[in-house]
Structure 1
Amino acid sequence: MSQPATPLTEQEQNRLVKQIGRAMLPALPPGWQRIRAEYRAAGRHIEVDLAFAGPDGQWRPVRPPMDVVRLFGQLRAAMHEPVRGTWLSAVYEIEAPAAFSVDFNADDEPRWRNPPPVIGFQDELRAFPRQDDRIPPWLRQRVGLPPLTPPRQHGELRTAHVYDGLDEAGRPVVNRQVLDPHLVDALLDYLEAAPVVLTARDLDVDAFVPGDRDVPLNFRTDGTWIWAGAVPHYLRKHGLPPEPDLVAHVVARGFRLGEVDEATRERAAALITGA
């Protein structure tokens, strides 16, 4: 699978695009008038279609040379950007003798011949990470990520996700950066010292080790965020980082809890229970 590479300059990208065009030519018979290549990828899942049209205007498919597949993969990796990731499909058209155009799509779901499995989309975000708000809704759904939370209004409480979703087998999906080890102890102190607004006597099953029933069934709030007892529990037991925005919030506070008034605690409990 292609990995993010050093970004290419515009001149280098144009050179690679022209290489792809030249790599198509050995697969085509004399007299072609137009060429159309479509490349679609998600993680290790790759689909490439190549077709040409002659003087009669009829499109005829041909087997794409491996150099075409390889060079498309190189271009996709080299065009990765940390904010928006990289493109998922590209359409490359050539009209004789030398006119060409390339259209890249980073947001819409490609028209797959065979849709990739869930792991293909998970691999895509691992290999070509992108900013959370640049992951389109269809891709969030495919990998088991929760819908993007709309911007929080002033004074509105925000609930932390324990993990990022579930795969087809119901196992937790995690797509988070590793936490700085120097933050762990202070973060645990903060998360486990905030006021409890809802609790139960029982313990829940560990989603990562179903044989263990040791997850606290409680919820806490610091007046801005609400989180389940599973959040610090999984951090302590499995090293699972809390939601990045929650970590950033706690760090920005200097790991210092403020007072949480009774009205805010009641509002937090109402949000949890849906009252």
Structure 2
Amino acid sequence: MKYSPRAEESAKYPGIFGQKILLEKLGKILYSSIPLGFDSVVFKVRTLAPWGQASMDITRADGSAQSATVADNAMQCAGELRANMYRDGLGTWFSAEFTVTAAGSLHTTYNYDDEPNWTRPAEAVFYVDDLERFPRDPEHIPEWLRRQVELAGR
């Protein structure tokens, strides 16, 4: 799935207040995808600046789960959130998990350091693009990311 968060969207919602707005927006998108009779939705995002993968599962109260279609606007919103959460020199997250319950709660986890668990490998140049879009100081570049950038010949 290809996407590119619009820079103007990230600028529209700056800082921690922007995170709150974007999380609420994403939460509403995910909440609306919980069918009647289901208890929660789990949206998993693995992403680099020009490219990403996502999956979504809906779960019943008994714990049984099934895959669901990821809404395009959920991926777009996650991309905007990722751009908003960038911090100079530190970077931003590579993968995240968002869980929304039918009761309306939202739980999030972010991975800033480990290589995403891709379902299909990312092209090496995507790692370069991501590092250019979200620069990190050398001490904040994980070893796996350095290797991928080297594989791309940069």
- With normalisation by structure 2, the TM-score equals 0.87
Are positions 1:137 and 2:140 aligned together?
no
Aligned to 1:65: 71
Aligned residue number for residue 120 of structure 2: 114
8 Å CA contact retained: 2:39, 2:59: yes
Match of 1:77 in 2: 83
Would you say the 8 A contact 2:55–2:70 is kept in 1? yes
Q: Secondary structure at the match of 2:118?
A: coil
Q: Which residue of 1 aligns with 2:109?
A: 103
Q: Which residue identity lines up with residue 75 of structure 2 in the other structure?
A: V
What's the offset of the Cα at 1:14?
1.4
Could you list the per-position Cα deviations for residues 248-273 of structure 1 after superposition, in whole angstroms to 9, with x for gaps in the alignment?
xxxxxxxxxxxxxxxxxxxxxxxxxx
Q: Which structure: larger Rg?
A: 1
Distance in structure 2 (CA, Å) of the matches to 1:70 and 1:3: 9
Runs of 4+ with >4 A deviation: none
Task: Give me the whole-angstrom Cα distance separating, in 1, the residues matched to 2:6 and 2:143.
Answer: 23
Instruction: Give the whole-Å Cα distance in 2 for the aligned partners of 1:25 and 1:43.
Output: 26
Code of the aligned partner of 1:13: Q
Distance (Å, rounded) in 2 between the aligned partners of 1:139 and 1:123: 12
Residue 42 of structure 2 contacts residue 57 of structure 2 at CA under 8 Å; is this kept in 1?
Answer: yes
Gap regions ≥5 residues in structure 1: 145-165, 174-275
Q: Which runs of 5+ in 2 are unaligned?
A: none
| Alignment TM-score, normalising by the size of structure 1 | 0.51
Give the deviation of 1:56 after TM superposition: 2.6
* Secondary structure of the corresponding residue to residue 5 of structure 2: coil
| Per-residue Cα deviation, 1:114-159 (whole angstroms, up to 9, x for no partner) | 1101011111111111111100001101111xxxxxxxxxxxxxxx
Cα distance between partner residues in 2 of 1:119 and 1:9: 29
Among 43, 47, 59, the residue aligned to 1:37: 43
Q: Name the amino acid aligned to 1:23.
A: I
Classify 1:3/1:107 alpha carbon distance in 2 versus 1 (closer, same or farther; 3 Å).
farther
Is the contact between residue 51 and residue 59 of structure 1 (CA under 8 Å) also seen in structure 2? yes
Tell whether the 8 Å contact from 1:8 to 1:79 is kept in structure 2 after alignment: no
The alpha-carbon deviation at position 3 of structure 1 amounts to 6.3
2:130 is paired with a residue whose SS is helix
Q: Is the 8 A contact 2:45 2:95 kept in 1?
A: yes
Offset of 1:9 from its aligned partner? 2.9
Matching residue of 1:2: 5
Structure 1 residues 71, 85: CA separation in 2 closer, same or farther (over 3 Å shift)?
same
1:60 and 1:105 map into 2 onto residues whose CA distance is 24
3-state DSSP of counterpart to 1:67? helix
- Residue 21 of structure 1 corresponds to which residue in structure 2? 27
Look up the SS of the partner of 2:148 in the other structure: helix
Identical counterparts, % of pairs: 26
SS in 1 for 2:27: helix
